[in-house]
Structure 1
Amino acid sequence: MGEQIPLVDYLVLDDGNPHLRAQECVNCGARFFDRRNACASCFASEFTTVSIPTEGTVRAFTIVTFAAPGIPTPFVASVVDCDGTQVRANLVNVEPDPEHVHDGMKVRLATFPIGADSAGTEAIGFGFEPAI
């Protein structure tokens, strides 16, 4: 098998303990997963990198039944609260129906291969799965 690379910059794989990292505003503590020149909350421009907890609680979700061609449905899109940081991600390894998914559900970060290129480099994505 070849190298593994994260699908998004804020997914960290290289330490054997996959987790997410965010940019935290030094002034107000707001957290962002994308690159920022200024804080959207207070307009400060200094950030520090922080690791996000790998476990959280589902705060909102929707079961998606229609999507662009080639996207398998149904799937569960969610907002997970990881100790105060809101993470938007799909729920994986769970039946996409209201009998198996609910607000307040405890979940943990899960990684999985998305695909590989001709050199064997594998892209790794993430979602959240039930924390049993």
Structure 2
Amino acid sequence: MAGQIPLVDYLVLDDGEPHLVAQECTNCGARYFDRRNACAGCFTTEFRTVRVAPEGTVRAFTIVTFAAPGVPVPFVAAVIDCAGTQVRANLVNIEPDPQHVHDGMKVRLTTQPIGTDSQGTEAIGFGFEPAV
């Protein structure tokens, strides 16, 4: 295989364990996963890259039953609190029903291949799965 690339810039694969990184405002501590010119909270323009905790707690979720053509349903979209950083991600490796998913459940980051290009490079995505 030619290698692996993360689907998003804030997923780090080549630094030991896979993990997420955020841009943290050096003034107020707000965290963002996308590139920012200024903090939405305090308008400061300086950020530092910080590692996001790989474990968290489900704070909100929805079970998606209708999606664009070709997107398998149902699936669980969730907001995960990772030690104060809010991460929006799908829950994976769990039945997508209210008997298995609940607010407050403990989860951990996981990665999975989502496709391979013609040169053999594998794209890697992430989600969260139940922590055991």
Q: Distance in 1 between matches of 2:32 and 2:74?
A: 28
Look up the match of 1:14: 14
The letter for the 2-side match of 1:14 is: D
Look up the match of 2:4: 4
Partner deviation per Cα, 1:73-127 (whole Å, 9 max, x = no partner): 0000000000000000000000000000000000000100010001000000000
Look up the match of 2:59: 59
Mapping for residues 11-90 of structure 1, pairs under 5 Å? 11-90=11-90
Q: Percent identity?
A: 80
TM-score by length of 2: 0.99
The letter for the 1-side match of 2:33 is: F
Aligned residues: 132
Deviation, 1:2, is 1.9
Q: Distance in 2 between matches of 1:33 and 1:16?
A: 20
Is 1:123 aligned to residue 123 of structure 2? yes
Is 1:111 aligned to residue 111 of structure 2? yes
- What are the ranges of 5 or more consecutive residues in structure 1 without an aligned counterpart? none
Q: Distance in 2 between matches of 1:123 and 1:42?
A: 35
- The root-mean-square deviation of aligned C-alpha atoms, in Å, is 0.5
Q: Distance in 2 between matches of 1:111 and 1:56?
A: 15
Deviation, 1:15, is 1.7
Q: Distance in 2 between matches of 1:29 and 1:16?
A: 25
Partner deviation per Cα, 1:40-99 (whole Å, 9 max, x = no partner): 111000000000000000000000000000000000000000000000000000000000
Q: Distance in 2 between matches of 1:113 and 1:2?
A: 14
Q: Distance in 1 between matches of 2:130 and 2:10?
A: 22
Deviation, 1:16, is 2.9
TM-score by length of 1: 0.99
Q: Distance in 2 between matches of 1:60 and 1:75?
A: 14
The letter for the 1-side match of 2:80 is: V
Q: What secondary structure does 1:90 align onto?
A: strand
Q: Distance in 1 between matches of 2:58 and 2:81?
A: 6
Q: What secondary structure does 1:98 align onto?
A: coil
- What are the ranges of 5 or more consecutive residues in structure 2 without an aligned counterpart? none
